[in-house]
Copies of this chain bind each other. A is one copy, B any other.
Amino acid sequence: MKPYPQLDNNALKNEFELVKSQYSTYADLHLSLDLTRGKPSSEQVNLSNSIMNCASDDGFIIDRIDVRNYGVLGGLPSIRALFADVLGVDASQIFIGGNASLQLMYDVISKAYTHGLLHSVQPWSKEKTIKFLCPCPGYDRHFNLSLSFGMELIPIDLTPEGPSIEQIEKHMSDPSVKGIWCVPKFSNPDGITYSKRTCEALASLQPAAPDFTIIWDNAYCIHSIYKDEPLPNMLSICQDYGCPDRVYMFMSTSKITYAGSGLALFATSENNLEYYKRLAAYQTIGYSKINEYMHLRFLKDKANLLAHMQKHAEILRPKFDAVLTALDKNISPLNIATWRRPNGGYFVSFYAMPHTASRIVELCRLVGLKLTPAGATYPYSNDPLDSNIRIAPSYPTLKEVEQAMDVLCICVRYAALEKMLESV
């Protein structure tokens, strides 16, 4: 196959007829395929089924605390110690709460609005405008959470080392810029891991807002598939750079044990934590210690947890292989798209020929393949190039992934040819 840009008009037309006829065969198959969400497969959740058995009635006492009764805001000491070990922080910097890190992030933002953060002059609800920096492509739920509070979102380009510091710095003089959303490791969807230089630059920023906050959503902290990519410890970097209260580092076990029934947590400075816990004490006596107990018994320690993650990687790897192989084989020779090769995380970030992503998603939908809406990875769903498509191969079976990629590749070619012929 020749690269499309080298084809003349006639050759493009012939290729388009060929692709259209291939596409039409899919319509007859009544497919029901889905590459939309970063959701673990049944095989993956099966890995954790013994979490239900390890919680037998053997006393229920952890750290001299009966886990079946009230109390202990912020997590049992033992489970805080386990995740402190995973994140390379101190157990005194960990807050464990709820079943989803998104909820904890929401809570921090919500408290910023109702009460203010530690260094806020006033609650954010009293400010006329709140702006947040959004490295993109990024996670749609972050952007939508911000929008639900009426924030103004500022897109920041994501480079292979992390968000563009140059672009960020331009906004530092604006006191209404209150923070930045970061997925610093195996980022959603690009699979990028922030470099040390980027982390240090983020800690070096001189924001006008005294309560400028980095929401460090470390969702994929131990979720390598091919190769680990070490991430600097942002909490200690912030400490070293004299802004110890600038970052909240989030993670959860949703993609470690059970999705949506895991443990969520954040690590932050002792001062932030003390402030947060003072507010949270009005909200709850404590989060489920039974869930902490089950996780502690099942995960045991960091080494065991990392071994468990290898089993996830083994299940995910063939699916990521299938995505990359299909793209390499079917799209690479055509010079019409690019994509990233992630070492971990849950996505392959695909960049179609500009101004064709929406059309590709639509073409796929018509033959039974659901994709994340084009643009979803950008603030206001506005991908200026209409190019990025987030491919999430974790949930379907390997066979379904292969089939879905066949469909996707044909649709990518279809939309490219359509666009090229349109502009002839």
Option from B57, B102, B290 in Cβ contact (under 8 Å) with A261: B290
Verify B282–A145 contact, CB threshold 8 A: yes
A98 at the binding interface (Cβ < 8 Å): yes
**Cβ distance A399 to chain B, nearest Cβ, rounded Å:** 19
- B contact residues around A71 at 8 Å (CB): 260
Number of copies: 2
Verify A42–B66 contact, CB threshold 8 A: yes
A226 at the binding interface (Cβ < 8 Å): no
Option from B45, B68, B100, B279 in Cβ contact (under 8 Å) with A68: B45
A284 at the binding interface (Cβ < 8 Å): yes
Verify B69–A39 contact, CB threshold 8 A: yes
Chain A interface residue count, CB cutoff 8 Å, equals 53
- What sequence of 0s and 1s flags, for each residue 12-36 of chain A, a beta carbon within 8 Å of any chain B beta carbon? 0000000000000000000000000
A9 at the binding interface (Cβ < 8 Å): no
**Cβ distance A127 to chain B, nearest Cβ, rounded Å:** 11
Binding-face segment, A48-56, A169-177, A369-377: A48-56
Binding-face segment, A106-114, A312-320, A405-413: A106-114
**Cβ distance A121 to chain B, nearest Cβ, rounded Å:** 15
A380 at the binding interface (Cβ < 8 Å): no
- What sequence of 0s and 1s flags, for each residue 66-102 of chain A, a beta carbon within 8 Å of any chain B beta carbon? 1111110000000000000000000000000011101
Q: A283-B102, A284-B106 are in contact. Are A40 and B57 (CB under 8 A)?
A: no
CA distance A260 to B149 in the complex (A): 29
**7 cross-chain CB contacts under 8 A:** A39-B69, A45-B60, A45-B66, A52-B57, A110-B114, A145-B282, A148-B282
